């Protein structure tokens, strides 16, 4: 009979308050299997967290792009609008609505939740800027 924590078949002295029990043959490796499943769970959790960070980064890009495009459109700067549109996330769509006094820009994009798998989240941002005096709508 082997003892849990034992050396060379001898029963070691247990620490105060710790009870030693004999290791049964069918329990051998149980801790290894539990550790393996726990490791898989931690890896899955890490993958979800990395995917969530990626979705947040795409959302921030949408917000920044919408604000920059609205600001440049309110100034009437066509080259500034083109430059700001170059910062839209890959595959993103831009919609610009102009009224008599404001410019509203909506940027929409799809963000991959888990990289490499076609599971995506739809993110969008909207920004409104007041037309500056002398700027054409």
Give 1's pLDDT tier (boundaries 50, 70, 90): very low
Which residue do the tokens 């929409």 mark? 108
Q: Residue 134 is part of which domain span? A: 54-137
**pTM of the full structure:** 0.70
Pairwise pLDDT comparison (9 vs 84), residue with the higher score: 84
- Inside any domain, residue 110: yes
Residue 40: inside a domain, yes or no? Answer: no
Within a domain: 89:
yes
- Structural domains counted in the chain: 1
- CA nearest to 127, candidates 58, 65, 80: 65
Residue 108 lies in a domain: yes
Structural domain includes residue 49: no
Instruction: Please report whether residue 42 resides in a domain.
Output: no
CA angle 3, 6, 8 (to 5 degrees): 105
* pLDDT tens digits, 25-37: 666 666 777 888 8
């Amino acid at each position: 009979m082997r003892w849990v924590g034992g050396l060379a078949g001898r029963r070691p002295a247990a620490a105060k308050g710790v009870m030693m029990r004999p290791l049964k043959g069918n329990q051998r490796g149980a801790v290894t299997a539990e550790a393996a499943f726990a490791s898989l769970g931690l890896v899955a959790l890490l993958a979800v967290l990395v995917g969530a960070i990626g979705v947040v980064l795409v959302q921030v890009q949408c917000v920044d792009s919408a604000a920059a495009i609205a600001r440049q459109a309110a100034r009437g700067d066509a080259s500034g609008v083109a430059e700001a549109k170059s910062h839209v996330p890959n595959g993103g769509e831009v919609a610009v609505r102009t009224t008599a006094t404001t410019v509203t820009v909506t940027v929409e994009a799809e963000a991959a939740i888990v990289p490499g798998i076609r599971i995506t989240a739809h993110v969008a941002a909207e920004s409104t800027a007041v037309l500056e005096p002398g700027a054409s709508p």
